[in-house]
């Protein structure tokens, strides 16, 4: 399991990767509340940049298909580290800066630039 803490102009975000399970959280009143991707708010414009083939669908269909594709992509990965590296790379494209990468019971992981 990895806890990845990112800084973004909109605030601090936590992503927990446990095997192929990825949960997301933003700080709310000083605490994190982890949620699966199904429960988070997604930017439709950002999705359309990544998947322009969805442009003729409704916002709900775009969101549903993006979540389906994300889960399918993660499922194809062989290791937890692949998932972690994908999340770090993908979020950095959207203005998120990795601040810390940590596994419970271990020191900060130095394999990630910026962490």
Residue 47, domain member (yes or no): yes
Residue 114, pLDDT > 60, answer no
What are 11-32's pLDDT values in tens digits? 889 999 999 999 999 776 667 7
pLDDT reported for residue 36: 93
Residue 45, domain member (yes or no): yes
Separation CA 47–CA 27 (nearest Å): 23
Number of alpha carbons in the 13 Å side-chain half-sphere of residue 24? 12
Residue 69, domain member (yes or no): yes
Residue 72, domain member (yes or no): yes
Residue 23, domain member (yes or no): yes
Residue 75, domain member (yes or no): yes
Domain count along the chain: 1
Q: Residue 4 forms beta bridges with which residues? A: 15, 101
Residue 34, domain member (yes or no): yes
Residue 114, domain member (yes or no): no
pLDDT reported for residue 57: 97
- Residue that has been written with the tokens 């389906």 in this structure: 68
Q: Residue 16 forms beta bridges with which residues? A: 3, 23
pLDDT reported for residue 29: 66
For 79, list phi and psi in degrees, rounded to 5.
-130, 160
Residue 63, pLDDT > 60, answer yes
- Residue that has been written with the tokens 């999340």 in this structure: 87
pLDDT reported for residue 108: 79
Residue 46, Cβ neighbours under 10 Å: how many? 12
What are 74-109's pLDDT values in tens digits? 999 999 999 999 999 999 988 899 999 988 888 877
pLDDT reported for residue 109: 75
Instruction: Determine contact, residues 34/14, Cβ cutoff 8 Å.
Output: yes
Tell me what the mean pLDDT of segment 107-113 comes to: 73
Tell me what the mean pLDDT of segment 45-61 comes to: 94
Expressed as residue numbers, the domain containing 6 is 2-102
């Amino acid at each position: 399991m990895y806890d990845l803490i990112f800084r973004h102009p909109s605030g601090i975000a936590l992503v927990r990767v446990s095997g192929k399970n990825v949960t997301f959280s933003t700080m709310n009143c000083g605490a994190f509340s982890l949620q699966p991707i199904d429960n988070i708010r997604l930017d439709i414009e950002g999705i359309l940049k990544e998947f322009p083939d969805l442009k003729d669908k409704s916002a709900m269909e775009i969101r549903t298909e993006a979540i389906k594709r994300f889960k399918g992509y993660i499922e194809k990965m062989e290791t937890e580290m692949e998932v972690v590296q994908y999340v770090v790379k993908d979020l950095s494209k959207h203005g998120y800066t990795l601040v810390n990468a940590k596994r419970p019971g271990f020191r900060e992981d130095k394999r990630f630039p910026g962490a």
